[in-house]
Amino acid sequence: MNPELYLSYPSAFLIGLLGSTHCLGMCGGISASLSMALPVGRGFRLRQSVMLLAFNSGRIGSYVVIATLIALASTSAASQWELAGLVLRTLAGLLLIFMGLSMGQWWQGIRHIERLGAPIWSRLSPLTRRFLPVNHGGQALALGALWGWLPCGLVYSTLGWAAMQPTVGSAALTMLFFGLGTLPSMLATGFAANWIRGLQKHPLFRKLTGGLLILFGLWTLPLLNLAGHWQH
């Protein structure tokens, strides 16, 4: 395995962790509703944990599936087109920068990119009604698997990054680690929703996380590679 890939997995985890407040706006409502629908009483915490873990496992599983499909296409393209890697890395960097600008509330252009997934979501979203209300872990898992296809700029940003990986397996692992990075906030939504929402709305926190995502995007951009290519 290319040694450079060892940095990608913890970096993907960090991107998920930094951008997870964005996930709260996209998935936090449905995640919190899983807890509120449960009857309070003996064993409530255990049932709550099972529901939240099942939902988020389904969501992360979908990220892995999407990454696998994209990687199959991108690795094929890279083998036929020399510049494919540079193009994919440029797109990944730009998407991360756009996501950072959105997180910091400086510019919301990422929403236009999120609309690209609307046609797929319009077909999948009616299926979610079949699993509502959620009464057991299996339903929560299926609902999370569907919810993983919800158009999301943060997911698209990381998918662009995962598409750069040289193998399908490493692309899938990149999205797995990204999904794991979003878990702390998503699980806390059920346990400490008010505190998380307050953090999400704090201007300084949003600007800090947005700035860090922008730095990730700038680091991802293949500026030196492009300069060397054009010189040749």
Residue extents of the structural domains in the chain: 5-231
Single pTM value for the model: 0.85
Tell me what pLDDT residue 225 has.
57
Q: How would DSSP label each residue in 134-150?
A: --SHHHHHHHHHHHTTS
Tell me what pLDDT residue 164 has.
79
- Tens digits of residue pLDDT in 177-216: 999 999 888 887 545 656 766 777 788 888 998 999 899 8
Tell me what pLDDT residue 39 has.
64
- Tens digits of residue pLDDT in 102-125: 988 899 888 888 888 899 999 999
For the four alpha carbons of 147, 150, 155 and 159, in that order, the dihedral sign comes to: positive
Q: What is the mean pLDDT of residues 207-229?
A: 78
167: CB partners within 8 A, 6+ apart: 71, 75
pLDDT > 90: percent of the chain? 28
Residue 92 has pLDDT above 60, yes or no: yes
- Tens digits of residue pLDDT in 13-63: 988 888 877 776 667 667 767 766 666 677 777 888 888 899 999 999 999
Residue 86 has pLDDT above 90, yes or no: no
Phi and psi (nearest 5°) for 41?
165, -160
